[in-house]
Chain A
Amino acid sequence: MTMRRLINLKRVEARRIYLTYAIVIAAYIICQVMSSTKILSSSMRGMLVPICAYMVMAVSLNLVVGILGELSLGHAGFMSVGAFSGVAAAVLMQNVIPFAPVRLAIAMIIAAVFAAAAGFIIGIPVLRLKGDYLAIVTLAFGEIIKSILNNFYLGVDSQGLQFSMLSDTTRLLPGGKLIIRGPMGISGIQKIATFPAGFILLMIALIIVFNLVNSRSGRAFMAIRDDRIAAESIGLDITKYKMMAFVMSAALAGAAGALFAMNYSTIVANKFDFNTSILILVFVVLGGQGNMLGGIIAAAVLTILPEKLRSFSEYRMLLYAVVLIVMMLATNNAEIKEFLSRLNPFKHKEAD
């Protein structure tokens, strides 16, 4: 199915998709070899899973921002829903499924389902709005999800699941266990997320998104992005397609959240705040809207960069901010672009 669809694609597009797969696989193999031969420092090895999670987040947000053309400022909210539901599911399954990779996979699927449900509920009001108003409402939902998860208590005992809001009134029976503890989040998580699992999730995300983009629905997304009124006038159901992209994106973000959370021993709702949403948006914009490979590379570079800048310690976030501003100016200002292209020796020869 995938093959036939790819053959039908325009050559350039197919080449770009294959190139993306090839680069991701090559990068995975190189990282695996480097980490098994201990070339990679232990701090870098610890970052492999978060980087994979951020890459999946970038692909997921790219579907909304790059392909559908709507700005979402609350994507960390879906990651958060996925993280909490996924980890809770993994804790509940601890004794039922002793084999960690299967537990991780099921937890990620459950996380995706919960995040998709959240995406659907949020999508109903959000998708009636446009542009900046849509953006502010996604921001609002991100903050609401954070507030709710910060005040959510979930426990399990012999009578089943118990939950409460605001304060811990779950009244667990003896032998019961409180899983989500409000502002304290979940602690004592088994770190079952592995780099291969992250790689597989990223590949699945890419396969899903590329197939979606190059399908009838994907073309509808792009038509809506390019001209909503024209798309509506040829009979496209705008709400349906927007919802489809939104829910799919939320599901991927949820799975990424579960992967991310299970790489740490403790996870709190405040980790997934407005700044995290912005961080992911920065990946997408720096990588190029609609360009999956760009987003993936930006996610990797911008996650490693602050770590590598550690020698500058105090100045590192300042440098990060400067890099961000300069990058945006360099890629978007006509005069600076021209100045840079004059500096580029290869272009210069062509001009002569």
Chain B
Amino acid sequence: MTFLNFFISGISLGSIYAIIALGYTMVYGIAKMLNFAHGDVIMVGAYVCFYATSRYELHPFLGVLIAMIVCTLLGIIVERLAYKPLRQAPSLAVLITAIGMSYFLQNTALLLWSSNPKVFPSIIGRGAFRLFDGELSISHITALTIGACLVIMAVLTLFISKTKMGKAMRACSEDKGAAQLMGINVNATISMTFAIGSGLAAVAGALLCSAYPTLMPTTGALPGIKAFTAAVFGGIGSIPGAFLGGLMLGVIEIFAKAYISSQLSDAVVFGVLIVVLLVKPAGLLGKMTQEKV
């Protein structure tokens, strides 16, 4: 039963990683850039949700909705101001700009909300389902996280495969130039991708802080890097890959904490990533592109 408990908390943590990783992987697939500021959007989302629920005493779900709207706008603004002018620039310049943006968001948060950690109230309370005479307990937030992740995955997959915008996104990730020739508004598509990714980051922020309730301006940084690792693990650019990578990373991390050593769990997670990339250089579900001369 302890094994099953660990497994479920691993899946729950993995679900959060998966939601964050979706943002990384979609942006990478379409704009071919590593958006290092994504982790800090999570933090902004969590703060907005925190203030909406604790200061203005709104219903937690309304708080999450407000956080989603704020983060979506933030994502669009960041893209418009910092990344759009660099569409033609070398990728390293875009990477540094993204890192600059990450510092900017962290330090703005530091000024606005101070570095004192805030205790985030769980958006769904601290209760738990008890199964098998209480041997297996699944907290409500765990169940909600896993459910939210599944819903998001299903909706996003439908969106990408069935809608016109989704088709435009697939076309842009395949070949931007050709997509433009077919009458697709590439800039709007990229903005849309950032908007979706950032909106999801707000959800991830609320779920993350409900499970691990300390909220600080640097809260988003490490989950951001982990989720990025998850995206690469599953094959960056691939949406099912982000899902699979996120879940596996979460389970590995919790198991490493439980059975190996809590201090070395990060080392184990990154070690597994390296091994996977050696065997499958484009990640678990990534497409290996043949180079043409």
How many pairs, one residue from A and one from B, have CB atoms within 8 Å of each other in the complex?
A: 123
Q: A71-B92, A151-B263 are in contact. Are A136 and B228 (CB under 8 A)?
A: yes
Docked-complex contact B88 and A334, CB < 8 angstroms: yes
**Residue in chain B with minimal CB distance to A333:** B85
- Docked Cα-Cα span, A157 to B28, in Å, equals 53
A144 at the interface (CB under 8 A from B): yes
Interface flags for B249-293 (1: CB within 8 Å of A; 0: not) read: 000000000000101101100110110011001110000000101
* Contact residues on A (Cβ < 8 Å of other chain), bracket: 35 or more
Contact, CB under 8 Å: A329 / B85: yes
Cβ < 8 Å to A, chain B residues 223-247: 225, 228-229, 232, 236
Least Cβ distance of B291 to chain A in Å? 6
The answer to whether A329 and B97 have CB atoms under 8 Å apart is: yes
Given the interface contacts A129-B277, A133-B282, A324-B96, does A150 sit within 8 Å of B263 by beta carbon?
Answer: yes
B86 within 8 A of partner (CB): yes
Q: Which size class do B's interface residues fall under?
A: 35 or more
Q: Which residues of B contact A143 (CB under 8 A)?
A: 225, 266-267, 270
Interface of chain B: mostly helix, strand, loop or mixed:
helix
Q: Which residues of A contact B263 (CB under 8 A)?
A: 147, 150-151, 166
On B, residues with C-beta under 8 Å from A are 28, 34, 82, 85-86, 88-90, 92-93, 95-97, 99-101, 103-104, 106-108, 110-111, 225, 228-229, 232, 236, 261, 263-264, 266-267, 270-271, 273-274, 277-278, 281-283, 291, 293
Q: Mark A254-286, 1 if CB is under 8 A from B, else 0.
A: 000000000000000000001000100110011
The listed residue (B96, B104, B270) touching A144 by CB distance below 8 A is B270
Which residues of chain A have a CB within 8 Å of any CB of chain B? 65, 71, 125, 128-130, 132-133, 135-137, 139-141, 143-144, 147-148, 150-151, 166, 229, 274, 278, 281-282, 285-286, 289, 314-315, 317-318, 320-322, 324-325, 328-329, 331-336
Given A125-B274, A140-B274, A333-B85, are A321 and B96 also a contact pair (CB < 8 Å)? Answer: no
Docked complex Cα distance between A279 and B28 (Å): 23
Q: How far apart sit A318 and B283, CA to CA, in the bound complex (Å)?
A: 36
